[in-house]
Amino acid sequence: MKNRLWHILRTSMQFTAGIMAIVLVFSVVYCGFHYSFYGDELVHMNTAYLVSVGKRPFIDFFTIYSPLFHVLLVPIFRFTGYTFQAVSVARVIMIVVFFARLLVGWLFVSTVFSRRVATLFVLLLLLDPFTVFSGMQIRPDSLYLFVLFLGLYFLSLFLKRHQQRNLFFAGLCIGLAVVFSVKSLAVVGVLSLFLFFYLARMKRVLQVRFYLLGAVIPLALFCGYFILQGSFTQMTEHLIVYSKAMSDGLWYPTRLGFFYIPGNTYIYGLGGKPVTWYIAIGLPILAVFGALFGLFSYKKHAMRLFWVGTLFCIALAQYCFFYTVRSMFMQYYLGVNWILAVFTAVFLDICVRFWKTKALESISETVYFFLFLLVVTVSIQANMLRATAVSMEIEDQRMLQRWSAIPADEPVFPGLLFRPLSQPIPYGYFYPEVPQRIRSGYLPVKTLLETNAVRYLLVGDYTMQFFDSATVAFIRENYVQDHIDSELWVRNNTQ
């Protein structure tokens, strides 16, 4: 009788947990689509626009991002035109990529550990506020992580079945990850080093050539394109030198612990210290226990031990990188929080398997169930509130007004979303914040406005104070300030 009652209770808990998981997924999708546009997203969409109208990255305009991601966004404009609808469609695509990444991640973790660990891994990512905040945004990190997960999955299949084609596909995906984002170099470097030593220990070191062959193909094609275009030097300078200069030159940098400050409704959805905040600070702590317990639990399991050691060192390398950058961005955590989720899932799985008797196991499952309900309920609430916490309606209306006032074929200084270039530093970069060493390679503002006969300016009083007096005088003499939009200046008809 007791066994039957427990079976009914357990089935009810599983059914309830399934329903709550579905609602959680809905809240994540809702938050991912409706959340206000992040500045970087519009920068990436504008870069895709520039590529779509034939502008060449690194030659015709300044960018610190690999352009492959933007090339893949170009077809969206054929269906939507250069409007906010394109941004919304891109958001939908990023949501699909996000859940595809979760699926591939589940396959990878289940291959290495178990289905239960994989399911916990996916659940933890859906609960992680940092992942939900930036994991579905329009940025190269989304595709970089997707192809990286594919590479890890193929590599796990190779280590399990020793099929050389899986090693080749793993290398292909890893090389593609580097092409999508230079930030993947630390991950790829540690992973490749551990793989080499693992194969050497297994006396299979020659098989690494299949991995290297796969990795070289996308890198060779990418570099070869810019060599043929004659912009290889500019490409490497922008992606490596200028990207660091931009980060170091930020006026208001954020440090490593900034995003962990409680009370940030922009990130956590709720004020104070909600469950979402405890998840954010709890993941690194539980992940350490998971990594340590994994090292002891899997010391007789070579493949799992390889992955525990590799992922731990990748996470360590990522945190070392965090300490070297002057300013932290939320998307940087995407590259490490999935590893924290893996180790936390390992730790929770070990805790579940810790209980030896049936009674204690049943009690622990009940406690975990109610804890799950609490965490998921608050996370759903936070996701729904976060989606509407920051309204972009005013900014959207301002953009629409400017589009109606400025013809689609007119350049704007310093830049406007989905409008032609007036100078090489496009929309999205705050012109005075761009380091002088970069701006010095382009025409001075006054010369640029005179030479290119730019008709429209978007320059407020705050920006104007960073121009020299001759430039300010030229603007006031040759442009008329709009009576509604104080930042919009239109060139005199007499000029």
DSSP of 38-91, one letter per residue? PHHHHHHHHHHHHHHTTPPBTTTB--SS-THHHHHHHHHHHHH-SSHHHHHHHH
In a domain, 44, yes or no: yes
Q: Token pair for residue 23?
A: 């609602």
Long-range Cβ pairs for the range 387-390 (8 Å, 24+): 387/30, 387/31, 387/33, 387/34, 387/35, 388/34, 389/36, 389/265, 389/266, 389/269, 390/35, 390/36, 390/266
Tokens in use for 294? Answer: 């994994």
- What domain range is 433 assigned to? 411-491
Alpha carbon distance 305, 293 (integer Å): 11
Residue 210 maps to a domain: yes
Query: Do 416 and 344 share a structural domain?
Result: no
Q: Given 336, 354, 372, which residue is the final one in a domain?
A: 354
* Cβ pair 182, 246 in contact under 8 A: no
How far from 456 is each of 30, 345, 419, 443, CA to CA, in Å?
37, 54, 11, 17
**Same domain (yes/no): 302, 437:** no
The stretches of 333-415 forming alpha helices (DSSP H) are: 334-354, 358-389, 393-405
- Residues 444 and 346 placed together within one structural domain of the fold: no
The first and second tokens of residue 165, run together, are 């084609």
401/399 Cα distance (integer angstroms): 5
Q: What is the DSSP letter of 421?
A: B
**Amino acid letter for position 125:** L
For residue 72, tell me if it sits in a domain.
Answer: yes
- Domain match, 204 and 299 both: yes
82 within a domain of the structure (yes/no): yes
**Residue among 332, 338, 331, 320 nearest 189 (CA):** 320
Q: Is 479 helix (H, G, I), strand (E, B) or coil?
A: strand
Residues 220 and 304 in one domain: yes
Neighbours of 452 (CB within 10 A): 14
Say if residue 462 is in the same domain as residue 323: no
Picking from 287, 320, 354, the residue at the C-terminal end of a domain is 354
Backbone dihedral region of 138: left (phi > 0), alpha (psi from -120 to 50 degrees) or beta?
beta
> Do residues 198 and 81 share a domain?
yes
Helix (H, G, I), strand (E, B) or coil at 224: helix
Alpha-carbon span 431 to 471, nearest angstrom:
14
Q: What is the distance between the alpha carbons of residues 163 and 172, in angstroms, rounded to a whole number?
A: 15
Measured CA to CA, the distance from residue 68 to residue 188 in angstroms comes to: 18
> Could you list the pLDDT tens digit for every one of the 495 residues in the chain?
556 776 677 788 788 888 999 999 999 999 988 887 777 899 999 999 999 999 999 999 999 999 999 999 999 998 899 988 899 999 999 999 999 999 999 999 999 999 999 999 999 999 999 999 999 999 999 899 999 999 999 999 999 888 889 999 999 999 999 999 988 888 899 999 999 988 888 888 888 899 999 999 999 999 999 999 999 999 999 999 898 888 888 888 888 788 898 988 888 988 889 999 999 999 999 999 999 988 888 877 888 899 999 999 999 999 988 888 888 888 899 999 999 999 999 998 888 776 666 666 677 777 888 888 889 999 999 999 888 776 677 677 888 899 999 999 999 999 999 999 998 999 988 888 888 888 888 888 888 888 888 999 999 888 899 998 999 999 999 999 998 888 999 998 754
- The rounded radius of gyration (Å) of the Cα atoms in the chain is 26
Q: Amino acid identity, residue 99?
A: F
Q: Are residues 333 and 424 in the same domain?
A: no
Query: d(Cα 487, Cα 461) in Å, to the nearest integer?
Result: 8
Final residue of a structural domain among 324, 354, 384: 354
Cβ atoms of 133 and 142 closer than 8 Å: no
Q: Is there a domain that residue 98 lies in?
A: yes
d(CA 63, CA 49): 13
**In a domain? residue 433:** yes
In a domain, 432, yes or no: yes
Q: Do 480 and 335 belong together in one domain?
A: no
Residue 284: asked if its preceding bond is cis (omega within 30°), the reply is no
Identify the CA nearest to 358 among candidates 118, 7, 114: 7
Total domains in the fold of the chain: 2
∠ CA(472), CA(478), CA(479), 5° rounding? Answer: 85
Same domain, 164 and 299: yes
Q: Are 233 and 191 in contact (CB under 8 A)?
A: no
329 and 478 co-located in one domain? no
Domain-embedded: residue 471: yes
CA distance 202 to 204: 5
Residues 416 and 350 in one domain: no
